[in-house]
């Protein structure tokens, strides 16, 4: 059944069963919005950059953010959401349903999906010793439960796995809901173990990469990542309450 065009954030949250199956067609975001220019002009060198290995996206989240990458004279790589005025840089696109800092979504009231992919979530939660509510929170933040979600960066499926991550997690087809949930949950469990069970750091690493979290010794100072962590935690608590009732 053909879906009506998305015209508002509310429309994005209206889902039906045609969106939650393994045969959903991939969709890619093409939206954009302006960013303010930075008022600072630090010394930066030109570097070659491509889409981040950790750029995560929702297919209907219409949440795309430009991130400017450059290397300082001291060799430190910097990522900023503000465009430098007088320096060489490359642009990355970070796309994520739960990442946009100025999102107008009420994360305390956004509809939840407590029964979608119930068996797959339960199996992954048991296998990797994760709270099913956490898996659901991450899926919601990443793709709004759209198994066919595909980002411009190449992240795919419910938990938005990049090709390298999918391969490392033993996922052959990231658009297959069962494989994606298993692989994404395995990766999430590894991040929790790596950061000693710290949910904030594990979520930040899922979004921005574990090496970035290690580099900053905490949640990176990226507005997108900070928003992502906060919203995943809100969703996590809500799913815990909903699943317990």
Domain total of the chain = 2
Residue 186 sits in the same domain as residue 216: yes
CATH of the domain at 118: 1.10.530.10
pTM across the whole model = 0.65
Which segment of 51-55, 97-101, 227-231, 233-237 scores lowest on mean pLDDT? 51-55
Residue 116 sits in the same domain as residue 211: yes
By the 8 A CB rule, do 20 and 147 touch?
yes
Whether the predicted pLDDT of 66 surpasses 90 = no
By the 8 A CB rule, do 213 and 220 touch?
yes
Residue 68 sits in the same domain as residue 162: no
Distance between CA atoms of 145 and 68, rounded to whole angstroms?
29
The answer to the question of residue 164 being in a domain is yes
7 or 205: whose pLDDT is higher?
A: 205
Per-residue model confidence (pLDDT) at position 181? 98
% residues pLDDT > 90 (the chain): 50
Of the candidates 63, 95, 142, 224, the residue annotated as catalytic is: 142
Distance between CA atoms of 96 and 26, rounded to whole angstroms?
15
Residue 17 sits in the same domain as residue 137: yes
CA 190 to chain centre: 17
28 or 148: whose pLDDT is higher?
A: 148
Distance between CA atoms of 168 and 174, rounded to whole angstroms?
12
The answer to the question of residue 17 being in a domain is yes
Residue 116 sits in the same domain as residue 200: yes
- Supply the mean pLDDT for the chain: 75
Whether the predicted pLDDT of 226 surpasses 80 = yes
> What contacts 42, CB < 8 A, 6 or more positions away?
72, 84, 87
Alpha-carbon distances of 236 from 37, 178, 220, 229, 240, rounded to whole Å = 34, 21, 21, 10, 6
The answer to the question of residue 33 being in a domain is no
Whether the predicted pLDDT of 24 surpasses 70 = no
95 annotated active-site: no
Residues forming beta bridges with residue 95, ordered by sequence position = 64
Per-residue model confidence (pLDDT) at position 80? 65
Residue 140 sits in the same domain as residue 205: yes
Whether the predicted pLDDT of 6 surpasses 80 = no
The answer to the question of residue 32 being in a domain is no
Which residue, 105, 79, 47, is CA-closest to 223? 79
Domain extent at residue 51: 44-95
10 Å CB burial of residue 109 (0-12, 13-18, 19+) is: exposed
Q: How confident is the model at residue 87 (pLDDT cuts 50, 70, 90)?
A: low
Residues in the chain: 245
Whether the predicted pLDDT of 230 surpasses 80 = yes
Which segment of 13-17, 112-116, 204-208, 217-221 scores lowest on mean pLDDT? 13-17
By the 8 A CB rule, do 232 and 191 touch?
no
């Amino acid at each position: 059944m053909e879906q009506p065009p998305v015209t508002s954030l509310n429309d994005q949250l209206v889902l039906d069963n045609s969106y939650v199956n393994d045969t959903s067609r991939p969709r890619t975001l093409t939206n954009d919005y302006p960013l303010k220019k930075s008022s600072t002009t630090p010394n930066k060198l030109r570097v070659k950059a491509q889409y981040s290995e950790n750029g995560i996206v929702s297919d209907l989240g219409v949440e795309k953010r430009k991130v400017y990458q450059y290397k300082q004279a001291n060799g430190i790589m910097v990522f900023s959401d503000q465009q430098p005025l007088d320096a060489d840089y490359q642009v990355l696109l970070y796309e994520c349903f739960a990442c946009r800092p100025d999102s107008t979504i009420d994360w305390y009231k956004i509809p939840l999906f407590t029964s979608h992919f119930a068996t797959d979530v339960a199996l992954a939660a048991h296998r990797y010793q994760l709270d099913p509510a956490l898996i659901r929170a991450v899926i919601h933040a990443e793709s709004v439960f759209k198994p066919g979600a595909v980002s411009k960066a190449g992240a795919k499926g419910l938990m938005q796995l990049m090709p390298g991550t999918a391969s490392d997690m033993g996922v052959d087809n990231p658009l297959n809901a069962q494989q994606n949930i298993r692989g994404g949950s395995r990766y999430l469990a590894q991040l929790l173990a790596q950061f000693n069970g710290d949910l904030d750091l594990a979520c930040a690493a899922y979004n921005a990469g574990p090496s970035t979290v290690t580099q900053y010794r905490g949640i990176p100072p990226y507005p997108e990542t900070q928003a992502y962590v906060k919203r995943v935690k809100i969703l996590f608590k809500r799913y815990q309450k909903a699943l317990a009732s």
